[in-house]
Amino acid sequence: MSGFSKIAIVASDAPAAQAALKELCSRYNTVPPEQADLVVTLGGDGFMLETLHKYRERAVPFYGMHRGSVGFLMNAYGPDGLEQRVARAQPVAVHPLSMSATDRAGVLHDAIAINEVSLVRQGRQAAKLRITVDDTVRLDELTADGVLVATPVGSTAYNLSAHGPIIPLSAAILALTPISAFRPRRWRGALLPHWASVRFDVLEIERRPVSAAADFTEVRDVASVVVREAKEISLTMLFDPEHNLDERVLKEQFLT
């Protein structure tokens, strides 16, 4: 199929995605994802993230079609001319974040995040966090509901909801964004070079417990979390030229 000889099609549980799966499988020859050199994903952004995580070690490109709710990472759905669409689709390489979280018992938990790594308070009291960037303490104490580090792809997700900046994919930077900051009141976050290593230390662990999440992986009662770009991991998504992801990110910044 236009350079891809083995195609897999996967779909979310949404009725529209399941109907599209049935339609496409009746029209195109498919193989299981474990044998494919291209994975077509039917659903929304959440399902695309699940698929990227599930099959990331396959090192194959992913072509999403929107059959869910949010479809920022998806192309428009259409059953016709799949071969031609895939052939002219433009690849976008995505490097996820690596999270190394140490819990209160001293156990280390490793995970990756395509969108963001977030630290959020577990109880009624605000979290207190110390933020260190590349071995230099940049904020002695942040009192907030939490804080997150977002990739350019993830900058339009949770990061945007927390009033963080939208980042063009080619900018090679990460967003460090507080979630409902109380002190310092005027701190709105920072933009960091993509190679930066960010460490969060939880202050007053007993009274103010904090959880850390890398996309779908959550660690409770963390003591410290280190976040960096996992440059050694590269995921490829394919986009129709008329639905170019760089253009979508640019347009998002002018929405009113």
Q: What is the CATH number of the domain that holds 13?
A: 3.40.50.10330
Among candidate residues 13, 37, 45, 135, the one labeled active-site is 45
Residues 49 and 84 in one domain: yes
Residues 41 and 145 in one domain: no
Per-residue tokens: 136: 């230099």
Per-residue tokens: 97: 């974040």
Chain position carrying tokens 């792809």: 153
Q: Say which CATH number the domain at 201 has.
A: 2.60.200.30
Q: What is the mean pLDDT of each run of 10 residues along the chain (256 residues)?
A: 80 96 95 95 94 92 91 90 91 94 97 97 96 98 98 92 90 95 93 97 96 96 98 93 76 75
Residue 193 structural domain = 97-229
d(CA 138, CA 145): 19
Compute the radius of gyration of the chain from its Cα atoms: 20
SS3 state of residue 46: helix
2 domain-assigned: no
SS3 state of residue 112: strand
Confidence (pLDDT) at 13: 95
Residues 113 and 214 in one domain: yes
- For residue 176, what are the CA distances in angstroms to 138, 168, 191, 248? 12, 15, 6, 21
Q: Is 17 exposed, middle or buried (0-12, 13-18, 19+ CB in 10 A)?
A: buried
- Can you give the three-state secondary structure of 139-175, one letter per residue? EEEEEEEEEEEECCHHHHCHHHHCCCCCCCHHHCEEE
Residues 49 and 103 in one domain: no
Confidence (pLDDT) at 1: 46
Per-residue tokens: 243: 């639905």
Nearest to 242 by CA among 100, 104, 78: 78
Confidence (pLDDT) at 212: 98
Active site residue 45: yes
Confidence (pLDDT) at 2: 53
Strand 38-43: give its sheet, edge to edge. Answer: 7-11, 38-43, 62-66, 235-239, 90-94
1 domain-assigned: no
Q: Give first-to-last CA distance, the chain, whole Å.
A: 41
Confidence (pLDDT) at 252: 75
Query: In this structure, are strands 198-203 and 222-229 parallel, antiparallel, or unpaired?
Result: antiparallel
